[in-house]
Amino acid sequence: MARQDFYIKKLLQDRARFADLYNAEIFHGKQILKAELLSPVSLESGIVITDRNGRRQTIQRRRDVAMKASLGACFIAACCEAQGEVHYGMPVRVLTYDALDYTEQLTDIQKEHRKKKDLTKSPEFLSGITRQDKLVPILTLVLYCGKDPWDGPKSLSDILDLSGPEECIPDLLAALPDYRINLVDIRNIENLEHYKTGLQQVFGMLKYSTDKSNFYNYMTSNHDQICQLDDDALTAVMGLLGENRRLMRLLAAPGREEEYTMCKAIDDLIADGKKEGELRMASLISILLKENRLDLIAQITVNEPLRRQMFQHYHL
């Protein structure tokens, strides 16, 4: 699954696609983040802790993708973690990343005050910052591209052991700080139209790839847009759709002319899907005729959900 993570990270290193992800998932399609106002930041974060015996321990983490985003007069640190498999400790992992980034910000502010020697009050000396100092908000998205539905925790409270007396649980939950992850499950994205870049087609192909009929329908209706995807997006599609061997064989088949493009491969794939769909339909009608179910034959020609149900029932 490390390879799937790589494809996602490669896609999101492009500032336009990164902004598109945040605009779609955080701002519900509103074009808030501007690609030209994004700038990459260090992926490494860490702190040094000194224990009672003077021994130093370094805690370091590396982000998958991170950008500094301008929102008018303020900034946010926008980060993304790519996941090819369910991670059952994800809330703690994200909490650690974010806490390290906040700690680094705090340390930088403290260093600046020590240089200026401008702390005058006791609380300022104690904390190393002033009341007016502010931290840059950090917002992390977890982009999950795995085949299986996400069954992992979505917040810290989901993995806490709360097996004590039932009467104390509500009070504990009210007092315990929680940490919710911002999970984007690609195969269950509801509003693909919120995406304005090629991510819409990449995520759409992933979303519908587990059902042949839906996949071919999506490929057909989005044919022109898919054919216009750039090399990085096409490479990501190839890598992330690893289970779709037909598409990969079409592109890699020996003896293909140089001009045999992704667009031609998609055309062939759609043609195959149409042919396969016709054969399935013919087989289903033949079975229903043998069972004298003329009523069902009339229905399946116009009722797609029923048609799919019949395909499954007869293992077609």
> pLDDT for 173-227, tens place per residue?
889 999 999 999 998 999 999 999 999 999 998 888 877 778 778 877 888 888 7
Residue 76: predicted pLDDT? 77
pTM for the full model? Answer: 0.73
Where does the pLDDT of residue 85 fall: very low under 50, low under 70, confident under 90, or very high at 90 and above? confident
Residue 263: predicted pLDDT? 56
Cα 214 from Cα 248, distance rounded (Å): 19
- Residue from 1, 47, 14, 60 nearest 202 by CA: 14
**Mind listing the pLDDT tens digit for each residue in 226-249?**
878 887 887 787 777 764 445 544
pLDDT of 66 strictly over 60 = yes
What is the number of other CB atoms lying within 10 angstroms of the CB of residue 83?
24
Compare 2 and 60 and report the one with higher pLDDT. 60
**Per-position DSSP letters for 149-193, written without gaps between them:** ---S-SBGGGGS---S-GGGHHHHHHHS---B-EEEEGGG-S-GG
Residue 50: predicted pLDDT? 65
Torsion sign over Cα 27, 32, 34, 38: negative
Q: Where are the domains of the chain?
A: 2-188, 200-313
Pull the structure tokens for residue 183.
Answer: 């999970």
Spatial contact of 184 and 144, defined as CB atoms under 8 Å apart: yes
Residue 239: predicted pLDDT? 74
pLDDT of 259 strictly over 50 = no
Residue 119: predicted pLDDT? 87
Helix, strand, coil proportions of the chain in percent (round to 5)? Answer: 55, 15, 30
Torsion sign over Cα 162, 165, 170, 173: negative
- Residues 300, 303, 308, CA angle at the centre, nearest 5°? 70
Percent of the chain with pLDDT over 90: 29
pLDDT of 18 strictly over 50 = yes
Residue 251: predicted pLDDT? 43
**Mind listing the pLDDT tens digit for each residue in 274-300?**
555 555 666 777 677 677 776 777 677
Residue 278: predicted pLDDT? 56
Spatial contact of 64 and 81, defined as CB atoms under 8 Å apart: yes
